[in-house]
Amino acid sequence: MFTPQGPTLRELTVQALSSVEHGYDLLAPKFDATPFRTSDRILSSVTRALEGLGPFDAGLDVCCGTGAGLPVLRSVCAGRVTGVDFSANMLAEARRRHPAATLVRADALALPFTASFGLAVSFGAFGHFLPDAQRTLFAQVHAALRPGGLLAFPLPAPPPVGSRAYWTLWAFDAAMRVRNAVLRPPFVMYYRTFRLPDVRTRLEEAGYEVAHRPLPEFGTREDGSPRCRLVLARKAGESAAEEAGEVREGDRPTAPRRR
Ligand SMILES: C[S@@+](CC[C@H](N)C(=O)[O-])C[C@H]1O[C@@H](n2cnc3c(N)ncnc32)[C@H](O)[C@@H]1O
**Protein residue whose Cα sits closest to atom 13 of ligand 1:** 63
- pLDDT tens for each residue of 127-186: 999 999 999 999 999 999 999 999 999 999 998 888 998 889 898 888 889 888 888 888
The atom of ligand 1 lying closest to the CA of 32 is: 9
Quick check: CB of 108 below 6 Å from ligand 1? yes
What is the DSSP track for 226-254? BSEEEEEEEE--HHHHHHTT---GGG--S
Residues 95 and 8 in one domain: no
Q: What is the SS3 assignment for 78-104?
A: CCCEEEEECCHHHHHHHHHHCCCCEEE
Q: Which of 61, 79, 59 is nearest to 69 (CA)?
A: 61
Phi-psi region of 92 (alpha: psi -120 to 50; beta: other; left: phi over 0): alpha
At 218, is the secondary structure helix, strand, or coil? Answer: helix
Beta pairing, strands 208-214 & 228-235:
antiparallel
**Residue among 85, 104, 107, 129 to mutate when testing ligand 1 (max atoms within 8 A of CB):** 85
Residues 31 and 46 in one domain: no
What is the DSSP track for 108-148? GGG---SS-EEEEEE-S-GGGS-HHHHHHHHHHHHHHEEEE
Among 38-47, 114-123, 125-134, 172-181, whose mean pLDDT is lowest? Answer: 172-181
Give the chain's domain count. Answer: 2
Residues 32 and 76 in one domain: no
Calculate how far, in angstroms, residue 238's C-alpha sits from the geometric centre of ligand 1. Answer: 30
**253 pLDDT above the threshold of 60:** no
Contact predicate 53/212, CB 8 Å: no
**β-bridge mates for residue 81, sequence order:** 59
Calculate how far, in angstroms, residue 105's C-alpha sits from the geometric centre of ligand 1. Answer: 11
Mean pLDDT of the chain, nearest integer: 89
At 27, is the secondary structure helix, strand, or coil? Answer: helix
9: confidence class by pLDDT, cuts 50, 70, 90: confident
Calculate how far, in angstroms, residue 208's C-alpha sits from the geometric centre of ligand 1. Answer: 22
Residues 145 and 240 in one domain: yes
Residues 120 and 241 in one domain: yes
Residues 133 and 238 in one domain: yes
Residues 220 and 241 in one domain: yes
Residues 141 and 26 in one domain: no
Q: Supply the pLDDT for residue 245.
A: 40
| Assigned domain for 107 exists | yes
Quick check: CB of 72 below 6 Å from ligand 1? no
Residues 30 and 45 in one domain: no
CATH number at 153 reads 3.40.50.150
Contact predicate 206/236, CB 8 Å: no
Domain with 86 in it: 41-158+195-251
**Protein residue whose Cα sits closest to atom 4 of ligand 1:** 65
